[in-house]
């Protein structure tokens, strides 16, 4: 499905991400303790919580980058045992914390590399055009070295590169980290379009109020467990926010 389709795939049966009873441990020390969550096509779901709560571990475990137990279903398919490069081909993409663009390569080459995980090679040109329309700066600076872009521009590139793999599920780890307020707005306007195009968006953030207001649902993670599930209207409730921050 393409960006701008206006959510034609919204709510299709079985589409999206389902996580059941996810556990992660590092050297026997638990970091994620039995998380279950669902992100349907056309939804954005937030994951917030204090440092060390297990947010990044959850995304990495879904991606197959670290060991886990529990079930992960992508568009209804159990992806048990798949390494990250194969998980990408099932339709999951991760924009990791800190962006990680290839600094020495041009913007255009970074985007080209993102297409390696595509299931449908034929949609390449169309996908690229959609991404360049969503992030015009990537078109303007196509020949520039990625390392010379500002933080906000690099975040747009990192998201664009992830979209080049044509994911049904887009996961982002703290996309607003270190960005100016304007750059944060640009990123979240893009996430709104991506959600509107029928993709499932799972976003880890530190900025609780902003995330709760943006997402269809937000889970609060404390010490590896989901302790609260919040709706957009909860963003205005001080007592709820206090609980989200301090447990
Ligand atoms: N590679 C690792 N080896 C050992 N322990 C780890 C490793 N990565 C994370 N941990 C531990 O697992 C727990 C969860 O870490 P994780 O990075 O998932 O948290 P987080 O919610 O993303 O935190 P932050 O907000 O700081 O990014 C923490 O106690 C952390 O110290
Ligand atoms: Mg983290």
Could you give the count of Cα atoms lying within 13 Å of 180 in the half-sphere of its Cβ?
7
206: in domain: yes
Q: Is the pLDDT of residue 188 over 70?
A: yes
pLDDT in tens, 33-69: 999 999 999 999 999 999 999 999 999 999 999 999 9
pLDDT at 109: 97
pLDDT in tens, 84-113: 999 999 999 999 998 789 999 999 999 999
Share of the chain above pLDDT 70, in %: 94
- The answer to whether residue 147 is domain-embedded is no
> Cα(138)–Cα(93) distance, rounded to whole angstroms?
19
Cα–ligand 1 centroid distance for 65 (angstroms): 14
- The reply to whether 102 falls in a domain is no
Longest dimension (CA), the chain: 51
In a domain, 149, yes or no: no
Check if the beta carbon of residue 1 is closer than 8 Å to that of residue 8.
yes
**Does any ligand 1 atom lie closer than 6 A to the CB of residue 224?**
no
Give the residue from 104, 203, 99, 209 showing the smallest Cα distance to 158.
99
Asked if residue 182 belongs to a domain, the reply is yes
The overall average pLDDT reported for the chain is 91
As a whole number of angstroms, the distance between CA 107 and CA 115 comes to 13
- Which domain CATH number covers 25? 3.40.50.300
Query: Is 148 inside any structural domain?
Result: no
Q: Identify whether 43 is part of a domain.
A: yes
Closest-approaching ligand to the CA atom of 61: 1
Cα distances from 55 to residues 22, 89, 108, 171, 221, in angstroms, run 12, 23, 31, 11, 7
Residue 28 CB less than 6 A away from ligand 1: no
The Å distance, Cα 56 to ligand 2 centre, comes to: 4
Q: Does the residue 123 lie in any domain? A: no
Residues with CB under 5 A from ligand 2 (ion): 55-56
For the Cβ of 54 lying below 6 angstroms from any atom of ligand 1, the answer is yes
Number of domains in the chain: 1
Which domain range does residue 195 map to? Answer: 16-97+167-246
User: For the segment 137-181, what is each residue's pLDDT rounded down to a tens digit?
Assistant: 999 999 999 999 999 999 999 999 999 999 999 999 999 999 999
Tell me, what's the pLDDT at 117? Answer: 84
**Residue 11: pLDDT above 60?**
no
Residue 239: pLDDT band (50, 70, 90) is confident
Tokens of 208: 């609780």
Rounded to two decimals, what is the model's pTM?
A: 0.93
């Amino acid at each position: 499905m393409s960006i701008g389709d206006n959510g034609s795939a919204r709510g299709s049966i079985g589409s999206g991400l389902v996580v059941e009873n996810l556990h992660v441990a590092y050297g026997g020390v638990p970091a994620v303790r039995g998380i279950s969550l669902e992100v349907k096509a056309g939804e954005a779901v937030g994951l917030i919580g204090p440092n060390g709560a297990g947010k990044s571990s959850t995304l990495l475990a879904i991606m197959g980058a670290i060991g886990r137990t529990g079930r992960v279903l992508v568009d209804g398919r159990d992806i048990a045992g798949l390494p990250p490069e194969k998980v990408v081909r099932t339709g999951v993409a991760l924009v990791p914390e800190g962006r990680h663009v290839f600094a020495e390569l041009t913007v255009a080459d970074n985007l080209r590399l993102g297409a390696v995980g595509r299931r449908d090679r034929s949609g390449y040109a169309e996908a690229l055009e959609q991404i360049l329309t969503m992030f015009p700066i990537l078109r303007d600076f196509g020949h520039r070295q990625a390392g010379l872009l500002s933080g906000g521009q690099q975040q747009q590139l990192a998201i664009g590169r992830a979209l080049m793999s044509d994911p049904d599920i887009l996961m982002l780890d703290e996309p607003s980290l270190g960005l100016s307020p304007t750059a944060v707005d640009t990123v979240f306007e893009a996430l709104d379009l991506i959600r509107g195009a029928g993709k499932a968006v799972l976003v880890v953030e530190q900025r609780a109020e902003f995330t709760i207001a943006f997402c269809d649902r937000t889970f609060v993670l404390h010490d590896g467990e989901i302790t609260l599930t919040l709706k957009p209207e909860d963003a205005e409730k001080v007592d709820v926010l206090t609980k989200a921050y301090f447990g």
